[in-house]
Amino acid sequence: MAIVRNLSRALAVPLLLALGACGDDPAPTATTPPPAAPASPTAAASAPPAATGDPAARAAEVVARLSDEDLAGQVLMPYAYGGSATQVDQLNKQGNQQLAGVDTPAEMIAKYRLGGLILVGFTPGDPTGKTNPTTNVDNPEQVRALTAGLQDAAAKLPAGAPLMIGMDQEYGIVTRVTTGVTMLPSALAFGAARQPALTEQAWRAAGTELAAMGVTVDFAPVADTLNPAGGGVIGSRAFGSDAKANSQQVAAAVRGLQSSGVAAALKHFPGHGHTTADSHDELPLIAQSRKAWEQQDLPPFKAGVDAGAGLVMSGHLNLQAIDKGVPATFSRKIMTDELRGRLKFTGVAVTDAMNMAPAKKWPAGEAAVRALNAGNDMLLMPPDIGAARDGIVNGLKNGSLKRERLTEAVTRILTLKFRTAQTPQPELSVVGSPAHQQAVSSLNASAITVLRGACSGPLARGPVSVSAPANREVARVNLVKALQEAGMQVQASGGTVIRLVGYGDQRVDLDDSAGITVMMDSPGLLAQAGTPTLIATYSSSKLSLDALAAVIAGKAKAPGRSPIAVGKLPRSACAK
pLDDT digits (tens, 9 = 90+) for 108-158: 999 999 999 999 997 777 777 778 889 999 999 999 999 999 999 999 999
463 Cβ neighbours under 8 A, 6+ residues apart: 489, 490, 491, 494, 495, 496
Single pTM value for the model? 0.90
Cα torsion 148, 153, 155, 161: sign: negative
Contact 355, 316 (CB under 8 A): no
Whether residue 45 is predicted with pLDDT greater than 90 in this model: the reply is no
* Helix and strand element counts for the chain (H, E): 20, 15
For residue 509, the model assigns a pLDDT of 67
> Could you report the per-residue pLDDT of 425-446, keeping only the tens digit for each?
999 999 999 999 999 999 999 9
Task: Give the residue among 426, 414, 340 at the shortest CA–CA distance from 54.
Answer: 414
Q: What is the CA radius of gyration of the chain?
A: 23
- Is 280 one of the annotated active-site residues of the chain? yes
For residue 511, the model assigns a pLDDT of 57
Rounded to whole angstroms, the Cα distance separating 12 from 7 reads 7
Mean pLDDT of 518-524: 96
Whether residue 394 is predicted with pLDDT greater than 50 in this model: the reply is yes
Among residues 25, 103, 297, 352, the one annotated as catalytic is 352
Give 445-479 as a DSSP string.
Answer: HHH-EEEES-SSS-SS-S-EEEE--GGGHHHHHHH
For residue 44, the model assigns a pLDDT of 37
Rounded to whole angstroms, the Cα distance separating 390 from 397 reads 11
Domains of the chain: 2-35+66-430 (3.20.20.300), 448-552 (3.40.50)
Lowest mean pLDDT among 122-136, 209-223, 530-544: 122-136
118 Cβ neighbours under 8 A, 6+ residues apart: 77, 78, 79, 165, 166, 167, 168, 219, 380, 381
> Could you report the per-residue pLDDT of 48-67, keeping only the tens digit for each?
444 568 999 999 999 999 99
Which DSSP letter does residue 278 get? -
* Parallel, antiparallel or unpaired: strands 496-501 and 348-351: unpaired
Give 476-517 as a DSSP string.
Answer: HHHHHHHHHHTT--B-SS-SEEEEEE-TT-----SS-SEEEE
